Each structure stands twice: as C-alpha cells, then as structure tokens.
Amino acid sequence: MYEGLMLTSQNDVDFMIHGLFSYNFFGQELWITTSHVYLLIVVISLIIFFIVGGLVFRKADKIPGTFQNILEIIVEFLDGIVKGSMGRNGDGFRNYIGVLFIFILFSNISGLFGLRPPTADYGVTLPLGIITFMLIHINQFRFNSLGSIWKDMTSPLPPWLPIWLPINIISEIAVPISLSLRLFANVLSGTVMMALVYGLLKWIAMGWPAALHAYFDLFSGAIQTYVFCMLTMTYINNAIGEREDVQEEAKA
Amino acid sequence: MEFNESFILGCSAIGAGLAVIAGIGPGVGQGIAAGYGASAVGRNPGAKGDIMSTMLLGQAVAETTGLYGLLIAMLLLFVKPLI
C-alpha cells in the first residue's frame, strides 16, 4: 500500500494529505488524494451500516433486539436534538441533520482506526459549510417576503438607509467560512497532535496514546459534530423563524 | 535588499509562535464559561443537562478564534506562503 496512507505507520512526523495519482480534467491536472480514499472508506462503511439497519427495521420486533435497540436510541437522539432546537420548523430537516451528524461523527472518529480523518481536509468541510449556507438562504427566501429580507439586511438602521448592508452581507458570508474552519481546525489540531506523538516518540508511544485518542478523536470529535449540527439548525431556524412573527403580526 | 530562504523560514517560525498567542483569549473565555456553568449547576442541579450542552456549545464557538491563530501558524510552518 502507498506509504503515508496510514497515519501511524511512519517513522517520521507526517500528517499531510498525499496525492495518490493524478488525472487530466479538461486540461487541468487534478489529484486523487488520500482524503478521497478515507472519505470513500467512511461512506462505504456508513452505507453498509445503513443497509444492515434498514434490513433490521424491515422485520422489526415489538421487543427490540440489541442492534435494533441501538438504532432506535440513535434515531431518537437525533430527532430529539432537531426537535429541541428547531421546534416544529424542524420536521423537514430531520433527515439532513441526522445524516450530517452521523457522517461528521464517523469522519472524526475514523482517526481511532488509524485513518487520517477526512474532515481534517478543508475540501471536505467547506462543502458542508456551503450546504448550510445554501439551506439558510433558500429557506429565508422560501418563508420570508422580499421586503422583510431587505429590512433584515439593513437591520440596525431603517430600510431606506442601507449603510449597514455591506457589513451584514459580510457577516452572512462569514457564516459558512467560520463553520467549516472551526470543524477543520479542530480535527486538524487533533491529527497533528497524534502525528507528533507517534512520529517523535516512536517506540515509546505504545498503548498510552489511547488516552489521547479518546480525547482528540472521541470527545473533541463528538463535541465538534454536535456544535456543527447545532449551529446549522440554529441558523436555519433563525432564517425560517421570522415567518411566524410576520404571520402573527398579520393576524393581530 | 535580498532575503534568502532560511531567513524567511526563521521569520515564519517566529510568526507562527506569535500567532498561537491567540490561544490565550479562548482559554480565559472557556474558563469563565466553565466557572459560570459550575455555579449554575450548583444553583440548579436539576438543569445539569441543559447547562452542560449550552456551556459546551458556547465554549466550542469561543474556541474558534484560537483555532484561527493555530491555522495561521500551520500555514506559516507547513504551506510556507512567503517563500
């Protein structure tokens, strides 16, 4: 296998993304990197997990077995956090948030299995942030009138004085960048730390780095997953939420 | 005046060291958040779950500025944009 494909196999500090082979795409040289391979591994294991879960739920018992119990706990937890932070706005977003949560969680945890986490590549987290950005604005335009969006964009000042508009636009653009950079930098810092421990200590790093893995991969990864999903839900809920205020004002 | 490569590398290393000073702010902020979280749990132990999740969310958001500093340090050390 290509050297550097495993994070822990080096006798030197190495946490970079490596190119596996290049190909030509309309005259540009692009690379298939190790990130693609790890992403593929994560996605394939998730697909297998989901297929097995679907088979279990096809003949679900009233008295659940072990695996069915685990799946029910996961689904109830995900539905619970969506309902808790979005209320009844969240009905249409359960599937997306659930998939997002499980995907980011598995990506972050894959550092435990010796992979370089795919979320430590900015090319993976930026699309996630952009999807959130698109969801925010599509829902804003779906549920709000153009007038109220304009009023919102010029918000501290009255609508006929759009001096604050550029600053508000910048703060809107900062949302996906800060979301994706937060996830990326957190996972990257854990990856660098583990690579330093394994690369510099060599044979001394036997066994006890498991504690570091538990912190950097499990705890930090789970917290960042939760934060990413929570912020996505909060932003989308803010984008939708004004609709109800407008309706209530119209009724009153 | 002509600067050679090792001079730029050394200055990049100094810049990386200065950039991670950004970690002070989030450290203070997270500590304050954790302290208020602890006092809130002491006042109302029943709401421990909600307090914990709110505190962790706030801390993770506050951590972002420190991570920006870390990112700048990483860029200076490994991507070497100035050479």
- Residue B18, pLDDT above cutoff 50: yes
| CB proximity A171 to B under 8 Å | no
Which residue bears the tokens 């950039």? B19
Query: In which band, very low, low, confident or very high, does the pLDDT at A128 lie, cut at 50, 70 and 90?
Result: very high
Q: What is the model's pLDDT at position A8?
A: 46
For tokens 């604050």, name the residue: A164
Q: For residue A24, is it within any domain?
A: yes
| Summary mean pLDDT of chain A | 84
**Cβ separation A189–B68 shorter than 8 A:** no
For B52, nearest residue in chain A (alpha carbons): A223
Q: How many CB pairs under 8 A join A and B?
A: 36
Of A201 and B18, the structure prediction assigns the larger pLDDT to B18
Contact call for A227 and B61, based on CB within 8 A: yes
How do residues A107-127 score in pLDDT, each as one tens digit?
Answer: 999 988 888 899 988 999 999
Nearest CA in chain B to A186: B67
Cβ of A230 within 8 Å of Cβ of B67? The answer is no
Any domain includes A59: yes
**Local structure of residue A217 (DSSP, 8 states):** I
Residue A7 lies in a domain: no
Longest CA span, chain B: 67
* Residues of A whose CB is below 8 A from B30: none
- SS3 assignment, position A180: helix
Q: Which of A181, A224, A231 sits opposite B68 (nearest CB)?
A: A181
Mean pLDDT for A205-218 is: 86
Contact A20, A37 (CB under 8 A): yes
Chain A residue with CA closest to B79: the answer is A16
- Could you tell me the residue ranges of all domains in chain B? 7-76
For residues B56 and B15, the answer to whether their CB atoms sit within 8 Å is no
Q: Measured between CB atoms, does A223 come within 8 Å of chain B?
A: yes
The CA radius of gyration of chain B, in Å to the nearest whole number, is: 19
pLDDT of res. A1? 37
Q: What is the pLDDT of residue A228?
A: 92
User: How far from chain centre, in Å, is Cα B55?
Assistant: 17
CA distances from B17 to A50, B10, B26, B28 (A): 45, 11, 17, 19
Give the distance from residue A62's alpha carbon to the nearest chain B alpha carbon, in angstroms. 30
The count of domains in chain A is: 1
- Overall CATH class of domain B7-76: mainly alpha
Residue A3's pLDDT band, with cuts at 50, 70 and 90, is: very low
In terms of Cβ atoms closer than 10 Å to its own Cβ (0-12, 13-18, 19+), residue A241 is middle
Quote the minimal CA–CA distance from A165 to chain B in Å. Answer: 25
Provide the β-strand partners of residue A32: A21
Q: What is the mean pLDDT of residues B50-56?
A: 87
Domain annotation covers residue A104: yes
pLDDT given at position B35: 95
For residue A176, pLDDT over 90 is answered with yes
Residue A198 has pLDDT above 60, yes or no: yes
Which candidate from A16, A186, A231 shows the least CB-CB separation from B67? A186
Q: Which domain holds residue A74?
A: 19-251
Q: How open is the CA angle A169-A171-A175, to the nearest 5 degrees?
A: 115
Task: Check residue B5 and give its pLDDT.
Answer: 84
Query: By C-alpha distance, which of A120, A81, A82, A86 is closest to A104?
Result: A120
**Residue B56 sits at the chain A interface (C-beta within 8 Å):** yes
A85 confidence band (pLDDT: 50, 70, 90): confident
Question: Which residues of A fall within a CB distance of 8 Å from B60?
Answer: 182, 223-224, 226-227
Q: From A125, A100, A110, A102, select the one nearest A191 (Cα to Cα).
A: A110
The ipTM value here is 0.80
DSSP string, chain B: ----HHHHHHHHHHHHHHHGGGGHHHHHHHHHHHHHHHHHHHH-GGGHHHHHHHHHHHHHHHTHHHHHHHHHHHIIIII-TT-
Please list every residue in chain B whose beta carbon sits closer than 8 Å to the beta carbon of residue A181.
Answer: 64, 67-68, 71
